[in-house]
Amino acid sequence: MSQSAEPAIERTPVSPCIGICLMDPATRMCRGCLRTVEEIAAWYEATAAEKRAILDRLVLRRAQAAT
């Protein structure tokens, strides 16, 4: 079995936007996806790793919001 010398293609994470775009002025977060204004603005220029970091933060925010 030979290993390919070609680099693995990294998949870019899909946007967490759910189409309910309503910014909370107190938290500066979208009430739909829970991203901050800064995270939304940076999403399209972010690397795949940066997008995964944003998604990881959203998991924590959802967990905190559920408690």
Domain assignment present for residue 58? The answer is yes
Structural domain harbouring 60: 41-67
Q: Let me know if residue 66 belongs to a domain.
A: yes
Residue 65 within any structural domain of the chain: yes
Number of domain units in the chain: 1
**Residue 16 covered by a domain:** no
Asked whether residue 61 is domain-assigned, the answer is yes
**pLDDT for the residue 67:** 84
In a domain, 48, yes or no: yes
* Predicted TM-score of the model (pTM): 0.80
Q: What are the pLDDT digits (tens) for 16-43? A: 999 999 999 999 999 999 999 999 999 9
Structure-token pair, residue 45: 């220029």
With respect to residue 26, please indicate whether it lies within any of the assigned structural domains: no
Burial of 2 (0-12, 13-18, 19+ CB in 10 A): exposed
